[in-house]
Amino acid sequence: MTKTIINNARVIDGLGSEPLQESIVVFESNKLVYVGREEEYEMSGDEQVIDAQGGTVLPGFIDSHVHVMMEYDAVQKRLETPFSFKFYQAAEYMKKTLNAGITSVRDALGADLGVKKAVEEGLVAGPRLQLSINALTITGGHGDGYTTSGQTVELLQADYPGMPDGRADGVEEVRKKVREMLRAGAEVIKVHATGGVLSATDHPEFTQFSLDELKVIVEEAEFRKGIKVMAHAQGAEGIKQAVKAGIHSIEHGIFLDDEAISLMKEHGTFLVPTLLAPVSVLEMAEELGMPESAVQKAKDAVDIHRESVAKAHKAGVKIAMGTDAGVMPHGRNLRELELMTQVGLTPMEAIVATTKTAAECLRWEDKVGTLEKGKLADIVVVKGNPLADIASLSDTDTIQLVIKDGKIEKDLLTQ
Ligand SMILES: [Zn+2]
């Protein structure tokens, strides 16, 4: 079988060490077979060569928090969108995601098993998906679209075949709800442990679900399939409760206090900051119109969010890159890396958070996240040196070549 060599590039392998110079990346079929110095590689004679033109080779990027089935729209527009149209839109969103260099994502609610199957079977282009199906929420919680008018307007419609409704209250209901999500194909369980910015009837600092409920959710997921739980958690109390219950990753983590941070360190909990989310909510409020309550909550969140993530990083909490893409337009995911460097991560740390650590957060570290022999050929070539200009990654044209599972999905190098 033909091997493919990518040469003429600096290689950032995702492990966090200095870029490899005079090195190449070689893959065969969908696996990496060599990463290292060019002169030490033994040619077999049937290689084809991709010239990276002096750019940088990296592992395919991983976004630990996206919603491929949505892109935020004003309520009126949502009400006018036919149900099935959203699946066609999702195909476009996933293509944009892939074009941005993201080869794996964790879908933090909204995508069902059919969406994943369509990507896996090559019907539509998209990143490798890890599904949560739908998030568990308390009645009146972050995931409950009930509005003060008495009408229910969901961000994303649920309760159709393959997409159970997420509402559950009390330990027995949440146990059953976890089982329903697993039955529908969930590979990770998502739970709304606190209120949030976009929900009408709550606030980021409201604690939702009791410690007992959260423990049962974690236990049920672990017992059944060794599956982990990710928690939308913004207020400090809700975060601490989630960490104590054994939740695997804290999403957003807007109001982190010292106790929450030390608990996260102690439990080895991941933080998925989604710094881009409140920033984008404010940008979009102008453009699309958004409830005043959401705008005010986003304004309140931006600065404290940055301080929280900065503190957590300094303390050594594991940080996995995630954006909440879907709340903002898809395809600009790597803007998050620039925001991460603004709160104290080095460019290399931001890259590791988007490769190796994100793979660990998804528990896919045995197959993706670094450029190492034996891993899947998920490879990105970018123009220039992202360590010198991390913001350049935000521009999709910087992403020159995207290979997922050994297949070229985007190629600007040979054009
Ligand atoms: Zn989200």
Interatomic CA distance for residues 190 and 318, integer angstroms: 19
Whether 263 contacts 240, CB under 8 Å: yes
Task: For the chain, give every domain's residue range.
Answer: 3-59+369-411, 61-361
Q: Quick one: what percent of the chain has pLDDT higher than 90?
A: 82
Residue 375: is its pLDDT beyond 70?
A: yes
Fold assignment, 3-59+369-411: Urease, subunit C; domain 1 (2.30.40)
pLDDT digits (tens, 9 = 90+) for 130-182: 999 999 999 989 888 888 899 888 888 888 999 999 999 999 999 999 999 99
pLDDT of res. 155:
80
In 231-355, where does DSSP find H-type helix?
236-244, 258-267, 276-288, 292-315, 335-342, 347-354
Residue 83: is its pLDDT beyond 70?
A: yes
**Ligand 1 mean position to 388 CA, how many Å?**
30
**Ligand 1 mean position to 410 CA, how many Å?**
27
Among 44-48, 60-64, 356-360, name the one with the lowest average pLDDT. 44-48
Q: In 3D, which of 231, 203, 232, 207 has the Cα closest to residue 300?
A: 203
pLDDT of res. 74:
83
Q: What is the mean pLDDT of residues 79-96?
A: 96
**Ligand 1 mean position to 65 CA, how many Å?**
6
Active site residues: 190, 324
pLDDT of res. 257:
95
Cα first-last separation, the chain: 26
Residue 200: is its pLDDT beyond 70?
A: no
**Ligand 1 mean position to 264 CA, how many Å?**
20
Q: In 3D, which of 404, 386, 364, 403 has the Cα closest to residue 56?
A: 386
pLDDT confidence tier of residue 355, bands split at 50, 70 and 90: very high
pLDDT confidence tier of residue 206, bands split at 50, 70 and 90: confident
**Ligand 1 mean position to 324 CA, how many Å?**
5
pLDDT confidence tier of residue 201, bands split at 50, 70 and 90: low
Q: What is the mean pLDDT of residues 204-208?
A: 83
Query: What value does the mean pLDDT of the chain take?
Result: 94
**CATH value of 61-361 in 3.40.50.1980, 3.40.50.300, 3.20.20.140, 3.30.379.10:** 3.20.20.140
Q: Do domains 3-59+369-411 and 61-361 have the same CATH topology?
A: no
Interatomic CA distance for residues 94 and 87, integer angstroms: 11
pLDDT digits (tens, 9 = 90+) for 216-275: 999 999 987 789 999 999 999 999 999 999 999 999 999 999 999 999 999 999 999 999
**Ligand 1 mean position to 207 CA, how many Å?**
17
The encoded tokens of residue 74 equal: 């004003």
pLDDT confidence tier of residue 198, bands split at 50, 70 and 90: low
Whether 101 contacts 61, CB under 8 Å: yes
